[in-house]
Amino acid sequence: MVDLLGQYEKIKTGIDEAILSVVQSSQYINGPEVKGFQKDLEDYLDVKHVIPCANGTDALQIAMMALGLKPGDEVITANFTYVATVEVIGLLNLTPVLVEVNPDTFNIDTVSLENAITSNTKAIVPVHLYGQCANMEEVMRIAKQYNLFVIEDTAQAIGADYTFSNGESKKAGTIGNIGTTSFFPSKNLGCYGDGGAMFTNDDELAKKLKMIANHGQSRQYYHDEIGVNSRLDSIQAAVLRKKLPHLNTYIESRNKAATYYDNAFSELDWLTIPARDNKSTHVFHQYTLKTKGINRDELRSYLSENGVPAMVYYPLPLHKQKAYKDSRYDSVDFSNTEALNESVISLPMHTELSDEHLEFITKTVKEFKK
């Protein structure tokens, strides 16, 4: 699905030097590389504050803590996402409210979102799934109208640009109150271990995020709030600093592969290529097709037998997961989400896909039904 070694080999010298220099500096925690990466990412995203942390799940949790959400507060998010989004809501004793997604863009359906709002609703967590922004224009309109916080889960979409109707363009994760991301190795900007970050343009929130990520202390050994211990380590920051200048080139490579796939599959009546939202660029964390009138799992086994890895993100909706069952969903129609759980399939997508790889993959896929 990914080729992390191939990508590393192209920038090996710089990466090796950066890692070694952290080792030799002995500043392993919150060293100058962490500060440096934070600044570099602020520039790239054009956002006032980046607060690094240990992973993308922590980023979501710290964001919710910083907004002062209390047990019983409802947080609305998409039913079709990675579990981390809903997990932290539950962990903080907030009430997750899962809603339907758009069957074409895979992102939160804003009509279902607005319908799910109650007097207990405090926040919305749109997830920019597979690398394309959710309908942020609508999300922000709804948030303003109902006075709700917005946390953008940008783990799959770092670098995507969203353009509003008035022509204003912003980076994914810098539109709502807080954006969160993950630097897990296979993410579009991945380090060589775990890492994550939060983004905000709000000075007060930035202070709070930073404090909560660091044991709730405003100065050493003085704890104003209950916090957590969540740091990006210096070696990972050094790696990310070397990789960030390549992020736009990586996004281009991913788009090139996506276009190749699109051209190969657009004529097939048993596959639907991923829809593009005209307000968002796509950074193709995943290239995800929908199957039509065939057995998706048979296609997946056939591909695996023929040397093409393929994955299903995600096979079971969250409201059917044991941990997240809730009678509130008994009467909710999740037919879009459930149809996606049955029909989606993701093909290899990374920065090192050559024309030969793409030709082999597309030829193999097409031969499934010949």
Closer to ligand PLP at the Cβ: 110 or 236?
Answer: 236
Contact 266, 260 (CB under 8 A): no
Q: Is 26 helix (H, G, I), strand (E, B) or coil?
A: coil
Q: Which is nearer to ligand PLP, 81 or 280 (CB)?
A: 81
Amino acid at 197: A
Smallest separation (angstroms) from ligand PLP to the CB of 172: 12
Query: Cα(first)–Cα(last) distance of the chain, in Å?
Result: 25
CA dihedral 33, 36, 37, 41 (to 10 degrees): 180
User: What is the binding site for ligand PLP (CB under 6 A)?
Assistant: 55-57, 81-82, 84-85, 127, 153, 155-156, 182, 184, 194, 196
Q: How far is the CB of 155 from ligand PLP (least distance, A)?
A: 3
- Give the whole-angstrom CA distance, residue 58 versus residue 265: 38
Q: Which is nearer to ligand PLP, 64 or 299 (CB)?
A: 64
**Residue found by looking up tokens 């109150």 in the block:** 177
Amino acid at 8: Y
Q: How far is the CB of 162 from ligand PLP (least distance, A)?
A: 16
> How many residues does this entry show for the chain?
370
Closer CB to ligand PLP, 51 or 299, in the complex: 51
Minimum distance of ligand PLP from residue 331's CB (angstroms): 27
Pairing status of strand 178-182 against strand 196-200: antiparallel
The least CB distance from residue 336 to ligand PLP, in Å, is 18
d(CA 277, CA 179): 20
CA 45 from centre of chain: 15
Q: Could you tell me the smallest distance in angstroms from the CB atom of residue 87 to ligand PLP?
A: 9
9 membership: H or E segment, kind and range? helix 4-10
Contact 129, 346 (CB under 8 A): no
3-state DSSP assignment of residue 261: helix
**Token pair of 207 as six digits:** 């202070």
> Toward ligand PLP, which CB reaches closer, 81 or 351?
81
CB of 330 to ligand PLP, least distance (A): 26
Taking the complex as a whole, the smallest distance from the CB of residue 208 to ligand PLP amounts, in Å, to 20
Do the Cβ atoms of 128 and 154 come closer than 8 Å? yes
Comparison of 299 and 318: residue with beta carbon closer to ligand PLP: 318
Smaller CB separation from ligand PLP, 189 or 257 = 189
Sequence-ordered list of residues with C-beta below 8 angstroms from that of 116, at least 6 positions apart, any chain: 76, 97, 99
Residue whose C-beta lies closest to ligand PLP: 56
Rounded Cα distance between 272 and 124, Å, is 29
Among residues 242 and 285, whose Cβ is nearest to ligand PLP?
285
Strand partners, 287: 347
Residue whose CB is less far from ligand PLP, 347 or 358: 347
Q: How far is the CB of 173 from ligand PLP (least distance, A)?
A: 12
